[in-house]
A and B are shown apart, each in its own frame.
Chain A
Amino acid sequence: MSIEVKNIQKQFGEFTALDNVSLSFPTGELVALLGPSGCGKTTLLRIIAGLENPDGGVVHFHGEDATHVHVRQRQVGFVFQHYALFRHMTVFDNVAFGLSVRPRGKRPDKKEIAERVHDLLKLVQLDWLADRYPDQLSGGQRQRIALARALAVEPKVLLLDEPFGALDAKVRKDLRRWLRRLHDELHITSIFVTHDQEEAMEVADRIVVLNKGKIEQIGTPDEVYNNPATPFVYDFIGQVNLFHSRVNEGWAHIGEIKLPAPEHPQVRDHAAVAYVRPHDIELQALPGEGFISAVIDNISTAGAVLRIELRHALADDVIHVELPRSQERLLNLHPGSQVYARPTNSKIFLQNR
């Protein structure tokens, strides 16, 4: 089922949580709402679920106005950050809850409910835990049970609020791959909220980047990472180096060197910021055209890539560089040694006066 929100406005006292947000979520996609805390992503999710009322704007489910439909009738599956499993019920009763509270006419009989619950527990690979209580489970197991419980009512939409936020790093990684596979199996329209850009990149079909109650960019993980629409997105997704520069007729000048700025051909002498990813910088031992003279300040070899911090004459900030480990042998990389750096890819954003 497709979801559409139009001109959503939400205010908490003086604080604007959502400012005129319009978005559509196509059927069967897994979409991530990504942003820093306080950007309005959870509020948007709760408005879609019907747990919060917007001050203005409408929510459409499959083309029909659902703004004033009660949570009960919306048929959304909601997974909470801290699971919200009913502690006094066994895993089985938790998953069966949505079916057992149905009005008598629509309620499946006991045998049917038991079958459905066991099918769902098998789907989340935890059918051997049916008789346990939630506090006897690990965090990852609880989250999977919470998902099974949400799926039991056959929701048309699945909404997940920071589903992996309370888990440790290893479980998180396993669980998000598992969620991706599950989604590929079920193809249920899903929206999940996260502040972790890596998580959004790995799991989502599309990413909506939010900041201060407004949408910064909508796109596939690839588009958002490689072609950030705004400086905020550039900054928020992945590490980035900033260079203050002046743009003149398609070129950004940073001290001695210049970077191409083909998107601003008409601009004359305008302040701008150049954004360069750490892995879009090459190093060499000898000076060359367009290379910045720099000294290695720090070097970290713990991890899949070499992380290097460079001091240079253009600014006080260090330049962060990431190189493949194979470069370790080719260059003389020690703190204090002289190198020459050149951005191979950059994006220039003009600064507002």
Chain B
Amino acid sequence: MVGTVSSLGRRATRINHAVSEPFWVQFILITIALVFLALFLVMPLVAVFKEAFSKGIEVYFASLSEPDAWHAVKLTLLAAAISVPLNVIFGVSAAWAITKFRFHGKHALITLIDLPFAVSPVVAGLIYVLLFGAQGWFGPWLADHDLKIIFAVPGIVLATIFVTFPFVARELIPLMEEQGTSYEEASLTLGAGGWQTFWRVTVPSIKWGLLYGIILCNARAMGEFGAVSVVSGHIRGQTNTLPLHIEILYNEYQFAASFAAASILAGLALVTLVVKSFLEWQHTRDRERAARAALQEI
């Protein structure tokens, strides 16, 4: 009996050795990862805030309370507020169609969704200039009807929608593919309608993927530079988004003000991350609480 136990124990340790690297390999791998993180993520973030406050806290707040800066923040938030919900609607319906139905041209649709990833944002901006600009296809017609898209807010929103197009759909397609259609089928056999099935079965099961897609989409919408730069026209107080504002200030050697604006952009990104972590934490807490309650009942 004793012999069996010890031989089992020995085998267990041997398996452990077999699947784990020696100490020095672990050490090197972890060090590389940490150094990389520090160099490429933490240091730039710290640098942004350090530069922003380099001329003192008064200069920081002064550069933010300037009307042009304030307008840029509002425009950035507006562009994100319009493009993110639209891309959520599009992303969910595209992922739904691609994963739950059989139809011709499915692969073509998936490729099309990826197009904004493949095309340079500058090209994306130029496409809109070509279509809606003064010399573009629809330019004369738009001018006749007194509509302004290029060098105006609609152009910025259009460009933002284009570059953030794939985020939600790309996040959802693999998730929904893996889940298959049996949940929806179960719901239908239980007498639920299509709309009920969507809200009560599909949405909760893709909730986390959807949230992640929205966060990525939002981050890109707020941070987009290239495409927006082409269509915006850089009119201060009118068509300057936050990233464009930062660039202008930087080119005018107003480093403190430029970094102050950058710190706002970084702050917005941090807020979205905190929101995401909070929601995830709440989700696991609910699960654990339910599990504990269940265990107590036994």
Contact = CB atoms under 8 A, between A and B. Distances in A.
Interface in A129-157: 129, 131-133, 136, 149-150, 152-153
B8 to A, nearest CB: 23
B191 A136 contact: no
A212 interface: no
Nearest to B291: A136
Interface residues of A, number: 32
A80 B196 CA distance: 20
Interface string B284-298: 000100110110011
A78 to B, nearest CB: 4
A153 B187 CA distance: 11
A150 to B, nearest CB: 7
A152 B191 CA distance: 11
Q: Is the interface of B mostly helix, strand, loop or mixed?
A: helix
Interface string A100-119: 01100000000000000000
B191 A84 contact: no
Interface stretch (A86-94, A239-247, A301-309): A86-94
B130 interface: no
B201 to A, nearest CB: 6
A141 to B, nearest CB: 12
Contact of A51 (B189, B193, B207, B294): B189
B185 A78 contact: yes
B191 A80 contact: no
Contact of A86 (B196, B205, B294, B297): B205
Contacts of A133: 287, 290-291
A279 interface: no
Contact of B187 (A97, A132, A152): A97
Given A86-B183, A128-B297, A131-B294, A78 B189 contact: yes
Interface residues on B, range: 20 to 34
A98 interface: yes
A263 to B, nearest CB: 45
Contact of B196 (A87, A101, A149): A101
Contacts of B298: 128
B190 interface: yes
Interface string A2-35: 0000000000000000000000000000000000
Interface of B: 182-183, 185-193, 196, 200-201, 204-205, 207, 287, 290-291, 293-294, 297-298
**7 closest Cβ contacts across the A-B interface?**
A98-B190, A101-B192, A84-B182, A78-B189, A84-B186, A88-B204, A132-B294
Given A80-B182, A80-B186, 16 more contacts: A51-B185, A76-B189, A77-B189, A78-B185, A78-B186, A80-B185, A85-B186, A86-B186, A88-B205, A88-B207, A101-B190, A101-B193, A101-B196, A131-B297, A150-B190, A153-B190
15 contacts: A72-B189, A72-B193, A78-B189, A80-B185, A88-B205, A101-B196, A128-B297, A128-B298, A132-B290, A133-B287, A133-B290, A136-B291, A149-B190, A150-B190, A152-B190
Interface of A: 49, 51, 71-72, 74-78, 80, 82, 84-90, 97-98, 101-102, 128-129, 131-133, 136, 149-150, 152-153
